[in-house]
Amino acid sequence: MLKNYFKIAFRNLIKNKVYSFINISGLAVGMAATIMIGLWVTDELNFNNHFKDKGSIAQVFQSQTMNANVNTSPAVPRPLEFALRQDHTDNFKHIVMSSWEQPRYLKFGETNIYITGNAMQEGATAMLDLDIISGVKDGLKEKNSIMLSESAAKSLFGNETALGKIVKVNNEDDLIVSSVYKDIPTNNSFSDMEYIIPWKHYVTTQPWLELSKDAWGNNSFQLFVQINENTTMDVVTSKISDVKKNASSETAQFNPQLFLLPMKDWYLRSEFENGVQSGGRIENVWLFGIIGLFILLLACINFVNLSTARSEKRATEVGIRKSIGSQRSQLIFQFLSESFLIVFLSFIVALGLVLLFLNGFNNLASKAIVFPWENLQFWLISLAFVIITAFLAGSYPAIYLSSFNPVAVLKGTFKSGRYSSLPRKILVVAQFTVSVALIIGTLVVMNQIQFSKDRPVGYDKEGLIQIPVMSNEFIGKKDVMRNQFIASGGALEMTGTSGPMTNVWSNRSGYTWDGKPADFQEDLAYTSVSYEFVETLGLKVTAGRGFSREFASDSNAVLLNETAVKYMGLIDPIGKFIRDSDTEDPSPPLKIVGVVEDMIIQSPYSPVKQAMYVFDSEDNTAFYNVRLNPEKSTSENLALIEGVFKKNFPNTPFDYQFVDEEYGAKFESEERVASLARVFTVLAIFISCLGLFGLASFVAEQRTKEIGVRKVLGASISQLWLLLSKDFITLVVIALLIASPLAYYIMGQWLQKFSYRTTVSWDVFAIACFGALIITLIIVSFQAIKAATSNPVKALRTE
Amino acid sequence: MIQIKDLEKFYKTEEVQTIALNKLSFDVKEGEFVAIMGPSGCGKSTLLNILGLLDDPDGGSFMFNGTEVAGYNERKRSELRKHNIGFVFQSFNLIDELTVFENVELPLIYTGVKPAERKKQVEAVLEKMQIMHRRNHFPQQLSGGQQQRVAVARAVVNKPKLILADEPTGNLDSTNGNEVMDLLIDLNEAGTTIIMVTHSEHDAKYSHRIIRMLDGQKVTENILA
């Protein structure tokens, strides 16, 4: 029986090539898009799956309340570790303090590499279950040791054994390689961690680290834990939430609440709004999951529409089969098996498309997805996917076709009812509603990105590079380097800063100033900067002046941005002082010498944070910011600067970043969403148009005789074109009317998450509507004009 | 074999109700060949559809082999149909996508006959109908007469007790028409009951009995043999 069904299905496919092509190509494109989205979603959901203890590993976060705003951050103070070890150790299998991921220079012989890694406590290797290739299991036990990833060891030692070799780190410390671990695969936290140095080594390298031991207010560290098997994240959270609050009266005013963020949430649900977990990347997973489903539905709609539209052609067969004893259920099964065959063929084509475009998709989505040939689960899900799609596409046609009355069909009196095309019309409207809504959505996302890109950044980011100088060998060399850079002709100016110009590395509180409200809890972005800060960055000074070598008192001076002036409630701020609120051992007061225009340092979508730029009298320089010479080419400038750098630091590799590129990276996530949305919108439009083309050609074919008669009676081509086109245009106009308010509402909601946002403007709707109508007209007119210009005699003879 | 009594069938449209069968009663014995005649719209085809269990009567009784089948549901009707009734249509009604062999094989598939047995039976009936040489052709590659022979083959392959023929020669020239009638006679002589709707006096003469209808009622009944 099944063989018979497939035979008929196959012969129908061959016989009706155009319809088969529309059905299979539409379904294949839809399925390919859904498979790719499925692979992407799986990849996102599998983040951190490398860690076998994913379920019990967590990071300690804290929420602090400042001026009624709750800020949540993974940065915690160092004494927290001691408190947890002392009072709560029975909850944890591992407690691991860690630095932030930091790049360091590693040198062996003549080989010099610049790689990122962390300083971590001993439990790290067991907690992360690092796969040790050589050396001891816990390579962080000895203070002067270093653990290297396999690829780091390879770049440093080539094929030689790494174990026991002495590596010079940041040109300061000699550390012995204690073990080599297998690289942590991408799509996991710590995948960039190419080295680990022992925590006990790290905390003795700089004086401030030593001081941090008792400083509950110094939130400069990360704390990872693995909880015991007999407890849960929530239970542990409830036990530790007030540890900091109870331990330090100084920070209690901010009501610090500690909690565990499970490893499974690090990647997908790491955003917090007012202290409450509010999502993160999981929103994109949902977004694209839904888009994938919609695209598949669009393709299924084509199948439904074309199958039911052509029902009269299948009616006789239904009548015959019924008359010789077929039950309705058998006919339903037959039509379902036909849709299964078509869906299966489409799936094969879809797999081909996925293989063909997977690389491009990976580039677009910044992924490294590999086609899961050997994954049984993938094939089982694919089978289910084919069956579900076959049901989705085939159910309605099967029920509809099998319902025909054999008597009417066999007597030749069968005609589709007056309203039989209504479901098709509704489905076409649904298709175009989705397509137009996607067009509008994509345009709004693109507009928002452009709007934020056009936002003035407050400084001149073009022709500016930053050179990381975080090791001690650079201390005291700033002025020498500046002079030499300028003298080389490769630079116009240079300034040193304690953080990059594209991020805030430090936030401070604990200040007081004249007129500060009593309960005000300040939170200021803090960067220490050197002379020529204003000149190098091209900042606009709106009051006062920048730092100057002519004023010796500038060693205790500060610049504020405009937001900080407003935030602190300062009127006429120049000459006023910001004082340390610590009364026992206060730092010298800082004199406000200038106010600069706001610079966007953090998110281009958020308001600029209140910031203070304090003159760096202790040389805490982390970056040299160098303004390149505009009279020379970039490569010439870089060669000159590198020459100077190499002359002064021959053992340190020259590393630099373009500030405008670093700034551009802030748009990466949204741009990725936009480019994926663009691709899927194009696919949705393609599938919808394919369906429209099929229906238009069906209608033209069905009305061949009518067109012939009308032509004989004198109808012009334009009248016939209008006759055939107007129904479809009406459907698309209805879709536009539904899609526009829907997209307006959804995109309005989406924009709410950006403080700095564009509006959903009328031109977006105009473009989407105009585009949809033009496409419809082209597709429908093609068929209409073809029918209208055909020979009427031929048309009438078709009877 | 068949007893119908006061059989009624109405067709309703938005404006009017048409009476297709008006309290029609007659019997057909096993092995009989009955022709039903009458002008267009007299209810012949409606009657045939009801007899073939393709359609439901609106009133009256329909006994098939001693069982009342008028109220049967779709499932029971199709069960009864596929084991007992074969159809021959004026327009042949072959499935274009299937070959001659596959068309004839279809009823056997529905009755669950095993493939090897199916092959045997189909080939036997194709031999009998003298179209074995066309077994792999598609309907559109055959002449009208050949197509009707395939249709007859399909109607009889299941060895039904009853064959319902709706103007079986209506689309054929006289030579092909006569051949089809000879086939029906052969089947009848072999014991199959045949009820045939026809406009053709010539064809009707092949039968044992002619029932003439008008406006859904029986007007005369002539016994020929």
Q: Is the pLDDT of residue B183 over 90?
A: no
Chain A residues touching B81 at Cβ < 8 A:
323-325
Between chains, do B49 and A328 touch, taking CB under 8 Å as contact?
Answer: no
Residue partners of A153: CB distance under 8 A and separation at least 6 = A162, A177, A180
Give the C-alpha distances (Å, rounded to integers) separating A233 from A45, A57, A87, A247, A258.
20, 9, 17, 22, 12
pLDDT at A278: 87
Between chains, do B78 and A412 touch, taking CB under 8 Å as contact?
Answer: no
By C-alpha distance, the chain B residue nearest A315 is B95
CA dihedral A711, A712, A716, A722 (to 10 degrees): -30
Between chains, do B93 and A330 touch, taking CB under 8 Å as contact?
Answer: no
Question: What distance in Å separates the CA atoms of residue A31 and residue A298, rounded to the nearest whole number?
Answer: 10
Question: What distance in Å separates the CA atoms of residue A483 and residue A480, rounded to the nearest whole number?
Answer: 5
Between chains, do B87 and A321 touch, taking CB under 8 Å as contact?
Answer: no
DSSP-assigned beta bridge partners for residue A176? A145, A166
CB A652 within 8 A of CB A528: no
Give the C-alpha distances (Å, rounded to integers) separating A511 from A103, A212, A707.
32, 19, 85
CB A416 within 8 A of CB A276: no
Query: Between chain A and chain B, how many beta carbons pairs sit less than 8 Å apart?
Result: 70
Q: Tell me whether A11 touches chain B (CB under 8 Å).
A: yes
Cα A545–chain centre separation: 40
Question: What distance in Å separates the CA atoms of residue A5 and residue A340, rounded to the nearest whole number?
Answer: 11
Q: Is the pLDDT of residue A134 over 70?
A: yes
Residue A448: how many other CB atoms lie within 10 Å: 23
Over residues A508-518, the mean pLDDT reads 87
Chain B residues touching A327 at Cβ < 8 A:
74-75, 78-79
pLDDT at A799: 41
Q: Is the pLDDT of residue A798 over 60?
A: no
Structure tokens at A390: 């076959």
By C-alpha distance, the chain A residue nearest B93 is A320
Nearest to A439 by CA among A787, A771, A152, A195: A771
Q: Is A92 helix (H, G, I), strand (E, B) or coil?
A: strand
Touching B: A residues 397-456, CB under 8 Å: 406-407, 410-412
Q: Tell me whether A6 touches chain B (CB under 8 Å).
A: no
Between chains, do A407 and B49 touch, taking CB under 8 Å as contact?
Answer: yes
CA dihedral A374, A379, A381, A385 (to 10 degrees): 140
pLDDT at B195: 94
Q: How near does any CA of chain A get to the CA of B225, in Å?
A: 31
A611-615/A524-529 β-pairing = parallel
Question: What distance in Å separates the CA atoms of residue B85 and residue B159, rounded to the nearest whole number?
Answer: 9
Cα B43–chain centre separation: 15
Give kind and range of the element (H or E) at residue A207.
Answer: helix A207-211
CB B82 within 8 A of CB A324: yes
Tell me the pLDDT tens digit for each residue of A334-354: 899 989 999 999 999 999 999
Question: What distance in Å separates the CA atoms of residue B18 and residue B6, rounded to the nearest whole number?
Answer: 17
Residue with tokens 């009593």: A518
Over residues B105-131, the mean pLDDT reads 89
Chain A residues touching B109 at Cβ < 8 A:
1, 4
Question: What distance in Å separates the CA atoms of residue B174 and residue B196, rounded to the nearest whole number?
Answer: 17
> Which region among A62-71, A125-134, A339-348, A707-716 has the lowest average model confidence (pLDDT)?
A707-716
By C-alpha distance, the chain A residue nearest B157 is A324
pLDDT band at residue A412 under the 50/70/90 scheme: low
Which DSSP category does A622 fall into?
-
Chain B residues touching A7 at Cβ < 8 A:
97-98, 102
Residue B29 phi/psi, 5° resolution?
-90, 160
By C-alpha distance, the chain A residue nearest B50 is A407
ipTM for this prediction: 0.76
**E strand spans, A597-637:** 611-615, 623-628
CB A220 within 8 A of CB A143: no
Between chains, do B74 and A328 touch, taking CB under 8 Å as contact?
Answer: yes
Nearest to A443 by CA among A746, A32, A40: A746
Between chains, do A8 and B97 touch, taking CB under 8 Å as contact?
Answer: yes
By C-alpha distance, the chain B residue nearest A16 is B97
CB A729 within 8 A of CB A776: yes
Cα A11–chain centre separation: 47
Most confident among A411-415, A442-446, A697-701 (mean pLDDT): A442-446
Question: What distance in Å separates the CA atoms of residue A361 and residue A489, rounded to the nearest whole number?
Answer: 43
DSSP-assigned beta bridge partners for residue B26? B4
Q: Choose, out of B12, B95, B159, the residue to mutate when testing the contact with A (most A CBs < 10 Å).
A: B95
Between chains, do B106 and A324 touch, taking CB under 8 Å as contact?
Answer: yes
By C-alpha distance, the chain A residue nearest B158 is A324
pLDDT at A700: 82
Q: Is the pLDDT of residue A188 over 70?
A: yes
pLDDT at A703: 80
The reported pTM is 0.81
DSSP A490-557: SEEEEEEESS-TTS---EE--EEETT--TT----EEEEEE-TTHHHHHTPPEEEE----TT-GGGGGE
Question: What distance in Å separates the CA atoms of residue A571 and residue A291, rounded to the nearest whole number?
Answer: 52
Between chains, do A324 and B81 touch, taking CB under 8 Å as contact?
Answer: yes
Q: Is the pLDDT of residue A705 over 80?
A: no
Between chains, do A317 and B97 touch, taking CB under 8 Å as contact?
Answer: yes
Nearest to A97 by CA among A278, A223, A4, A3: A223
Question: What distance in Å separates the CA atoms of residue B5 and residue B27, rounded to the nearest whole number?
Answer: 8
Tell me the pLDDT tens digit for each residue of A21-40: 888 999 999 999 999 999 99
Structure tokens at A251: 């920070």
Question: What distance in Å separates the CA atoms of residue A59 and residue A95, rounded to the nearest whole number?
Answer: 10
- Sequence ranges of the domains in chain A: 2-43+283-451+668-797, 57-268, 472-651
pLDDT band at residue A415 under the 50/70/90 scheme: low
Percent of residues, chain B, with pLDDT higher than 70: 99
Over residues B112-125, the mean pLDDT reads 92
Q: How near does any CA of chain B get to the CA of A349, in Å?
A: 25
Chain B residues touching A323 at Cβ < 8 A:
52, 54, 81, 87, 93
DSSP A742-767: HHHHHHHHHHTT-SS-----HHHHHH
Q: Is A63 helix (H, G, I), strand (E, B) or coil?
A: strand
Touching A: B residues 33-62, CB under 8 Å: 45, 49, 52, 54-55
CB A462 within 8 A of CB A660: yes
> Which region among A88-102, A542-556, A629-643 has the lowest average model confidence (pLDDT)?
A542-556
By C-alpha distance, the chain B residue nearest A406 is B54
Residue partners of A516: CB distance under 8 A and separation at least 6 = A522, A568, A569
Residue partners of A14: CB distance under 8 A and separation at least 6 = A20
pLDDT band at residue B41 under the 50/70/90 scheme: confident
Q: Is the pLDDT of residue B222 over 50?
A: yes
Residue A164: how many other CB atoms lie within 10 Å: 10
Residue with tokens 């082999």: B65
Q: Tell me whether A324 touches chain B (CB under 8 Å).
A: yes
Q: Is the pLDDT of residue A218 over 90?
A: no
Percent of residues, chain A, with pLDDT higher than 90: 55
Cα A350–chain centre separation: 26
